[in-house]
Amino acid sequence: MKSKQSLFSGRLEGKQFQEEFFDEHPVLYPWPDLLVKAGLAKSYKLREVKFKKYLDLLGIKKNDKVLDVGCGQGIFLARIVKTYEVDGVGVDISKNSIRSAKQWESSRLRFRVADATKLPFPDKSFNYVLSFDLLEHIQDQSKALSEMVRVLKPGGSLLIHTINQNQDYTWNFWLAKLGVDIYQRVAHQKNLFLKPEWVKKELEKEGVRMEKLELFNAFSTLIFDEIIMILIALFKRLNFFSPSRFKTSIGKAFLLIADLFSRHCLQPLEVLEYPWRRWGYSNSFFVLGRKR
């Protein structure tokens, strides 16, 4: 298996690049067992609080069918299933991620390796299709969007979170000016970042009625979540994720405190970011639509 450096220097493109990178570099989650057990009752950073607000907007009902496209290790989908009592299916192109995700499988939850541009499901299969932080990794974004809409039932909702191409003056913009490329570490290719208006038009062409488009993460919210992730990386280095009683107690305390701060800080920090959003600048954006 190639190293991270060789993946970039060898210029692997598209699906092979993404599959190999995420096979070797899974997303870091703190105390996954605790997160899955708590569902979305505990959110350890601002992004999770925001995701939960959008999920609540969907009006998800018990036993609805939910597809998570680009589910990674399946932890977030497992928490969704726990919280909303839905039937969940997660797909990802990374074989190692799906292998890890299968530990969360149950009668309500299953995972499989699949390509987002060739979803292995019949038309009109799901009440909800979710895609968090996926599109910015895909070459054929139009095809991926088309596939998500295809497997969605009429009247069903599609929720997408992805990276904004318009990032001037955001926290990440200034980091780049200082020579810190935060995108390379998670296999982002900047030419694949999206414009909100383009996603909106593509979905409307597919028969989706737009219900909400919102810019998210510009400066203060990004700094907050970066601090949280630095702490999590430190805990991992200190081997605090192992399942001992002492370390589990530390995990419970950390998640409790992080949840408290995240829930109370999201709104004021978003208010501070109004100037960026006013001019169309952000790190990411949400799109919520309903299939006609």
CATH number at residue 251: 3.40.50.150
Candidates 151, 127, 134, 277; CA nearest to 199 is 134
Question: What is the spatial distance between Cα 202 and Cα 210, in angstroms, rounded to a whole number?
Answer: 11
Asked if 255 and 34 touch (Cβ cutoff 8 Å), the reply is yes
Rounded to whole angstroms, the Cα distance separating 217 from 270 reads 8
Predicted pLDDT at 19: 55
Q: Indicate whether 194 pLDDT > 60.
A: yes
Q: What is the pLDDT of residue 93?
A: 95
Give the model confidence (pLDDT) of 147-165 as tens digits: 999 999 999 999 999 999 9
Q: What Å distances lie between residue 121 and 147, 157, 227, CA to CA? A: 9, 17, 39
Give the residue numbers spanning the domain of 86. 4-291
User: How open is the CA angle 234-235-237, to the nearest 5 degrees?
Assistant: 65
Residues in the chain: 292
d(CA 187, CA 2): 14
Mean pLDDT of 34-55: 96
With a cut of 70, say whether residue 139 has pLDDT above it.
Answer: yes
Examine the pLDDT at 10 and tell me if it is beyond 50. no
Residue 218: pLDDT over 80: yes
Instruction: Tell the residue number behind the tokens 């009429």, with chain if given.
Output: 154
What is the pLDDT, as a whole number, of residue 222?
Answer: 96
Q: What is the mean pLDDT of residues 194-219?
A: 98
Domain count, the chain: 1
Whether residue 216 has pLDDT greater than 80:
yes
Q: How many angstroms separate the CA atoms of 225 and 152, rounded?
A: 32
Instruction: Supply the pLDDT for residue 3.
Output: 39
The strand pairing partners of 194, in sequence order, are: 164
Three-state secondary structure string covering the chain: CCCHHHHHHCCCCHHHHHHHHHHHCCCCCCCHHHHHHHCCCCCCCHHHHHHHHHHHHCCCCCCCEEEEECCCCCHHHHHHHHHHCCEEEEEECCHHHHHHHHHHCECCEEEEECCCCCCCCCCCCEEEEEEECCHHHCCCHHHHHHHHHHCEEEEEEEEEEEEECCCCCCHHHHHHHCCCCCCHHHCCCHHHCECHHHHHHHHHHCCEEEEEEEEECCCHHHHHHHHHHHHHHHHHHCCCCCCCHHHHHHHHHHHHHHHHHHHHHHHHHHHHCHHHHHCCCCCEEEEEEEEC
The residue written with tokens 């039932």 in the block is 153
pLDDT at 2 over 90: no
Cβ–Cβ under 8 Å, residues 228 and 42: no
Q: Which two tokens stand for residue 112?
A: 């499989």
Q: Considering the chain, what is the average pLDDT of its residues?
A: 90
Residue 15 has what pLDDT? 62
Q: Report the alpha-carbon angle 277-266-263, nearest 5.
A: 160
101 and 80 in contact (C-beta within 8 Å)? no
Q: What is the pTM of this model?
A: 0.89
